[in-house]
């Protein structure tokens, strides 16, 4: 045989998803992260298989990926993990996408677009509990909540944060992040803001931090068979979805 081929085994994908379900049970929904073309595995066939298996939500990096999923026939809700730009809001409405938001200017633009289209746009609020990247710093969460609550046309469906180091053996920082996240949830509750989905767990959280499941988990790597690191506390049997044949 000349050259090499990559084989994607959907049975392995089903196996890995069943491991996620086994761990989190029925109380938490599963958002499958299929960004970066499902980590190179082909986002449309992967998402369609997972949708058939009962995954409740999909996560992608940007609008372009989300439109690819919709055009490929995926009907489930899709979260735009990195947020949106103002010039993408027509797509958000047209394709029923759910942006993550963490900037007040974008929140205001979403509100204006929704009102103009006589609709409501669902959003998830992103809180930075220590990652130091995207998100409203947790100490500024309250004023962001107040702004969001004052805007028309926005339906707050979720709130999320991201673990910085859940794949490390030492879980103390992750536990601190989880604690800060709970403080932020209490704060929101005090001003009457509630969420259908609060979520923070990536693959490492799913495998090692059952306390982090909340109402939704966001596995990526583990669905494709990659253990998030060699430092996990709990052994797990995952199957690589991709094989290279030469
Ligand atoms: C990529 C990503 C994930 C998935 O992380 P894995 O370590 O691959 O499980 C979860 N949440 C967000 C916000 C991400 O960007």
- The atom number, within ligand 1, closest to the CA of 100 reads 13
How many angstroms is it from 202 CA to the middle of ligand 1?
Answer: 5
Question: CB atoms < 10 A from the CB of 172, how many?
Answer: 9
The predicted model scores a pTM of 0.97
* Residue 75, token pair as written in the block: 């009907």
Q: Of the residues 32, 34, 43, 59, which should be mutated to test ligand 1's pocket, given the most ligand atoms within 8 Å of the CB?
A: 59
What local confidence, expressed as pLDDT, does residue 209 receive? 97
Task: Give pLDDT tens digits for 20-69.
Answer: 999 999 989 999 999 999 999 999 999 999 999 999 999 999 999 999 99
CA of 77 to the centre of ligand 1 (A): 17
Q: What is the pLDDT of residues 72-107, one digit of tens each?
A: 999 999 999 999 999 999 999 999 999 999 999 999
CA–CA dist 239, 179 (Å, integer):
33
- Going by C-beta distance under 8 Å and a sequence separation of 6 or more, which residues neighbour residue 136? 102, 125, 126, 127, 128, 144
- What is the pLDDT, as a whole number, of residue 98? 98
Q: State the pLDDT at residue 56.
A: 98
pLDDT at 230: 87
CB distance 236 to 227 below 8 Å: yes
Which residues are CB-neighbours of 92 under 8 A, at least 6 positions away? Answer: 63, 80, 84, 99, 110, 113, 121
Q: What is the pLDDT of residues 136-152, one digit of tens each?
A: 999 999 999 999 999 99
Residue ranges lining ligand 1, Cβ < 6 Å: 33, 35, 81, 162, 202-203, 218-221, 228
| Tokens (6 digits) for 192 | 């009457």
- H or E element at residue 64: helix 63-71
- On average, the pLDDT of the chain sits at 96
């Amino acid at each position: 045989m000349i050259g090499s081929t990559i084989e994607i085994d959907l049975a392995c994908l089903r196996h890995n998803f069943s491991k996620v379900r086994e761990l989190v049970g029925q109380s938490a929904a599963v958002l499958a992260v299929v960004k970066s073309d499902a980590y190179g595995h082909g986002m449309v066939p992967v998402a369609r298989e997972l949708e058939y298996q009962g995954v409740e939500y999909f996560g992608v990096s940007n609008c372009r990926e989300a439109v690819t999923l919709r055009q490929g026939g995926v009907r489930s809700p899709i979260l735009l993990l990195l947020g949106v730009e103002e010039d993408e809001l027509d797509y958000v409405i047209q394709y029923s996408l759910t942006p993550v938001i963490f900037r007040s200017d974008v929140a205001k633009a979403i509100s204006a677009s929704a009102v103009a289209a006589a609709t409501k746009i669902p959003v998830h609020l992103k809180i930075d509990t220590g990652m130091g990247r995207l998100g409203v710093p947790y100490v500024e969460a309250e004023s962001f909540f107040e702004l969001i609550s004052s805007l028309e046309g926005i339906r707050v469906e979720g709130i999320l944060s991201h673990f910085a180091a859940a794949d490390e053996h030492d879980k103390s920082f992750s536990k601190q992040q989880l604690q800060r996240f709970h403080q932020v949830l209490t704060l929101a509750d005090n001003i009457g803001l509630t969420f259908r989905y609060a979520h923070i767990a990536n693959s490492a959280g799913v495998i090692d931090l059952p306390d982090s499941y909340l109402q939704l988990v966001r596995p990526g790597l583990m669905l494709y068979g990659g253990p998030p690191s060699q430092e996990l506390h709990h052994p797990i049997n995952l199957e690589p979805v991709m094989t290279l044949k030469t």
